Amino acid sequence: MEIGTKKVVLTGMQPTGILQLGNFLGAANNWRKMLDRYNCYFFIPNQHAITVPQVPADLRRATLNAIAQYIACGLDPERCTIFVQSHITGHTELAWILGCITPIGQLYRMHQFKEKSAKKENIYSGLLYYPVLMAADILLYNADYVPTGEDQRQHVELARDLAEKFNATYSETFTVPAPLIEETGARIMSLKSPEHKMSKSDPDANATIYILDEPKIIQKKIASAVTDSGDKIADDPERPGIRNLLHIYCAAAGIGLAEGEEKFAHYQGYAPFKRELADMLIALLEPVREKYRAIKDDKTYLLSVVRKGAETVQPIAHKLLSTAYRKVGFLEG
């Protein structure tokens, strides 16, 4: 759907902890550059968050903090719409309809489901169903683009499949969304086990740089990030630790990998590179931390942002859901 001539962008980050560097470099930092070009909807997927166990009071607090972190990352509420998923009627309702045309095998094959269910004693169906809800989030607003990190590509593919299937079955209804994934920053890995992606819900805080980390903490975490015994700073899949740090540098500096490799080609050992990387991250995250500090306790303001967001999107969601209801054969009320 286009509002005026602008295409619609929709995306979100779960309120499952303080945003980490991957969320920033792979997501929010790119999103803020889209505000003028697109009609942007950024939401806080708190209904997704309960697919893993949450302490209710913490989830409520984390949702409020997420609003502040979005704004601190540069998502200016005057130039985009920010809303909370559970405030809107339509996401779960559309997810039900889409679930009824989703092959269950496709859900079992999702990487995120495999990772998040691995070694768990109790696996709940919400975790399996997560990508269907995500498809509903996207299709409910006829989003054209879904900017995310690489880990969400498979989920956006499912949203595309479901849009095409619904349209073919019931007639043209949904826009088929496209993922927007950047070359660098799209898959930032853990500082301690670089074969796994960095995640805000990782219990090992040393494996993760949070966007609100103090400078000293950032220096410490980068200095102790796992590398190898070599000294060549390269985009080498055989050496995932240093490769990840190079990717982080290039994404933060906004340069390509080849340029990054060339810049550090003459460096002796990893220590000077690590120091430069830490300085770069500290400078990059400083304004985010400051802005967050300035607004984080202003509950009235934060709630006003998402209330305004809900007022904007609820009519859109309602209209599309009504169309979907009619198409599948639900009797009007």
Catalytic residues: 116, 197, 200
Smallest gap from Cβ 22 to ligand ATP, in A, equals 2
| DSSP letters for 182-236 | -SSSTTPBPSS-TTSB--TT-S-GGG--BTT--HHHHHHHHHTS---S-------
Nearer to ligand ATP, 189 or 324 (CB): 189
The residue written with tokens 């590509």 in the block is 153
Among 160, 192, 197, 221, binds ligand ATP (CB under 6 A): 197
- Regarding 85 and contact with ligand ATP (CB under 6 A), the answer is no
Smallest gap from Cβ 121 to ligand ATP, in A, equals 19
Residues β-bridged to residue 11 = 42
Q: Give the DSSP letter of residue 332.
A: P
Smallest gap from Cβ 129 to ligand ATP, in A, equals 15
299 vs 249: CA distance, rounded Å: 35
Smallest gap from Cβ 16 to ligand ATP, in A, equals 3
Stretch in the footprint of ligand ATP (CB under 6 A) among 100-108, 197-205, 222-230, 258-266: 197-205
Burial of 211: CB neighbours in 10 Å, binned 0-12, 13-18, 19+: buried
Among 51, 69, 199, 219, binds ligand ATP (CB under 6 A): 199
Among 89, 201, 224, 323, binds ligand ATP (CB under 6 A): 201
φ, ψ of residue 40 to 5 degrees: the values are -100, 130
Site string for ligand ATP, 113-152 (x = CB under 6 A): -----------------------------------xx-xx
Tell me the two tokens of residue 31.
Answer: 């999103």
Q: Give the DSSP letter of residue 268.
A: -
- Regarding 274 and contact with ligand ATP (CB under 6 A), the answer is no
The SS3 call for residue 52 is coil
Site for ligand ATP, rule CB under 6 A: 13-14, 16, 20, 22-23, 26-27, 148-149, 151-152, 186-188, 197-201
